[in-house]
Structure 1
């Protein structure tokens, strides 16, 4: 019998059919179902009762490695928030896409019954994705962990329209000073996120790399660079204002400008359940329309 947790951030009326299908499919298989408390409350406020008898959880202390999966309902942002919730727990995530693009949440609404059937029969693989660990020495104290990110760390200006300057060091060797609107340190998973919008390359998830991508750089010779994920990256923001913004997977913190950040590979990985035909390469073709060319009827090879 499978034991699963269900996580969502925002419940909408349009989700009713899909959530009901998910729960009914799991119930028929006699799975043990636990649902995020705030999400369940949002469902119940609409008068729906199909979540009434489910076990609830609201903190990571109520999750453990006896769970076979955490199933998310939403988009990629929901998966990122879910990884922040489970953190170092060895629980794989299966993402159902109720959002838009969906590089991580690859199960589409119409695929829920078949996808859950495959999951229940253990017909899937688990992709392990590298995560970033970010430390800071705010207030000139010793370095402490600021947080973790599956996609990226973004440094951005806070209270000015001027560009921001960031000194970057790789393994204590000075790389360059980026003058830009911001700077992104990305994992391979995050290469299809904000970095891609800033002209960064797509990196296969199983490569051992990090990616440094400037945001709208003011020096035209500044280009994205791919480095080993064993590299220790140190970042110093040049003083032009009192604070800057650091975003870890969209969790934004205002940080004093004197603070240095150290970015490295986390000592644990994120685990994503991948079903048949939902591989990263398939997702690239589907989401980025790679190979789609109406001029060439042979461009869409299967």
Structure 2
């Protein structure tokens, strides 16, 4: 028997209905099913609820029912345990949640039959180096880490160093360090390149830079990228859309490829190129 975890979108009732159906179907067949305690209450199965620090241990598959944000949360909870994640799309067409609700049960059946493969996605290891030399490790990022202005109406000075060597300061609204997976998120809206998510790289993208050099950089995944808050204004740090607080002048973040990738289940749903074409309404022929 296998052990399954389910994460539900916090605002979509269809996630509750689908989660309730899939959880009952698996339990009736003798499989172990877990949800976060709050989600277990929502589907009326409180006995399946566990705390977040117990959720991923020993699971074979985590199913995220929602959108890309739900999948990011699943990856955050589960990747360090080596658990594979399946994304079921309950919103707009997503880049991570590629299985439709009507295909969810069939996808789980394929997993149980071994008819799948796992796609590894690079993550970023991120930590904060304070001006006083103390270091604080923050969550790994599947999409991006962003250092951006904390005050409306003002730019922020961000000093970039690569492998310990100064590169250039950016005076901008912010600077993004993205993975290939994250290249289709905020980085794309800032005119960064679209990178195949199976590629290994870091993508540095300035946001509205007030300077002549405004290009994005595609960097080796092992490069140690430092973004230091220069000047006299603080900056704000967010990782995969979640706030990590303020960076005071002299504080920096350092990013490089994580040793632990995310593992996403591929059961033959829409591939990256098909999703990209659909997002932009691209046609096979002019």
Q: Say which is worse superposed, 273-282 or 146-155, in terms of deviation.
A: 273-282
Structure 1, unaligned stretches of length 5 or more? Answer: 45-50, 293-297
Alignment partners' CA distance in 1, 2:110 and 2:32: 17
The answer for unaligned runs of 5 or more in structure 2 is none
Structure 1 residue 266 displacement after superposition: 1.3
The offset of 1:86, in angstroms, is 2.5
Alignment of 1:259-298 (within 5 A): 259-291=251-283, 298=285
Moved over 6 A (4+): none
Residue 103 of structure 1 contacts residue 287 of structure 1 at CA under 8 Å; is this kept in 2? no
* Alpha-carbon distance between aligned partners in 2 of 1:95 and 1:165, rounded to the nearest angstrom: 37
Shift of 1:89: 0.9
Aligned match of 1:251: 242
| Deviation readout 1:201-247 (Å, 9 max, x if unpaired) | 11112222110011112224311110110101111122232x21101
User: What is the count of residue pairs matched by the alignment?
Assistant: 285
CA contact (8 A) 1:168 1:177 kept: yes
Q: 1:174 and 2:144 equivalent? A: no
**Secondary structure of the corresponding residue to residue 42 of structure 2:** helix
Q: Cα deviations across residues 72-130 of structure 1 (Å, max 9, x unaligned)?
A: 11111111122222251110111111122311111112222322222221211111111
The aligned residue for residue 60 of structure 1 is 53
Structural RMSD (CA): 2.0
TM-score by length of 2: 0.91
Structure 1 residues 148 and 16, CA, compared in 2 at 3 Å: closer, same or farther? closer
TM-score by length of 1: 0.87
Q: For the residues of structure 2 that align with 1:79 and 1:14, how far apart are their CA atoms?
A: 16
Tell me: CA distance 1:280–1:25, structure 2 relative to 1, closer, same or farther (3 Å). Answer: farther
Select which of 172, 179, 186 maps to 1:187.
179
Secondary structure at the counterpart of residue 229 of structure 1: coil
1:48 corresponds to which residue? none
Contact 1:60 / 1:86 at 8 angstroms: preserved in 2? no
C-alpha contact 1:22 1:116 (8 A) present in aligned 2: no
Distance 1:143 1:4 in 2: 35
